[in-house]
Amino acid sequence: MGDFGDKKTVNNSKKEDNFKKVRHPDGGCVFCGQGFYGFFDEKNNKSYFYFTFSQDKHQGPPGHVHGGVIAIFIDEAMSFATGNFFPCFLGKIEILYKKPVPLGISLRIEGEVVRVEGRKVFTNGFIIHEKKSGEKDVLIQASGIYIRPKGSDGTVSLFVVED
């Protein structure tokens, strides 16, 4: 599972207002080592990116994305949203597979922090198909709990910020 996509499928996101283009430092996660980046709104603790899943790298059931691959991508979106609380690590994830996720179309993948209780950072994540009509179809809905290590003061930078 080391190869998740090329720059055409990974980097097809447009920057929105209040969001910064970010990635993990070199040598970080498996995504960022392949040129992956996302967008982070540090004021509102939200993240997003767009991704097109391909048949040769991501297929599970014919024509659709493998459930394990979905879990990796939704974790990445929620992890990006925890940027103000880094370092923290995924402690629990729950995923509701509302609809099958199709291959070959650009999908929006979002993460957000919904609350913080001590060392626990609670998140939500979504995979959304934005249709040409403007309608947004939520395919995947997730929640996660990220844990900050004991003694962590939140001063470690999760991201390299790019223009």
What is the sign, positive or negative, of the torsion defined by CA atoms of 57, 50, 81, 157?
positive
Tell me if 2 is assigned to some domain: no
Number of domains the chain contains: 1
Tell me if 78 is assigned to some domain: yes
Exposed (0-12), middle (13-18) or buried (19+): which is 45, by Cβ within 10 Å? buried
Tell me if 47 is assigned to some domain: yes
pLDDT in tens, 22-62: 766 665 666 655 666 788 888 999 988 888 888 888 989 99
Tell me if 24 is assigned to some domain: yes
- Rounded to whole angstroms, how far apart are CA atoms 162 and 32? 13
Q: What is the CATH number of the domain that holds 62?
A: 3.10.129.10
Residue 102 pLDDT exceeds 90: yes
Tell me if 85 is assigned to some domain: yes
Specify the higher pLDDT residue, 105 or 54: 105
The pTM is what?
A: 0.83
Domain ranges, residue 63: 7-162
What is the sign, positive or negative, of the torsion defined by CA atoms of 17, 93, 147, 119?
positive
Residue 40: which of 155, 130, 162, 153 has the closest Cα?
162
Tell me if 16 is assigned to some domain: yes
- Rounded to whole angstroms, how far apart are CA atoms 115 and 146? 11
Specify the higher pLDDT residue, 86 or 139: 139
- Rounded to whole angstroms, how far apart are CA atoms 64 and 51? 14
Which residue shows structure tokens 């540090």? Answer: 42
Tell me if 136 is assigned to some domain: yes
pLDDT in tens, 3-33: 555 444 444 556 667 777 776 666 566 665 5
pLDDT in tens, 132-154: 999 999 999 999 999 998 887 66
Tell me if 144 is assigned to some domain: yes
> What is the pLDDT, as a whole number, of residue 160?
61
Residue 57: which of 65, 67, 48 has the closest Cα?
65
- Rounded to whole angstroms, how far apart are CA atoms 44 and 88? 18
- Mapping DSSP to helix (H, G, I), strand (E, B) and coil, where does residue 139 land? strand
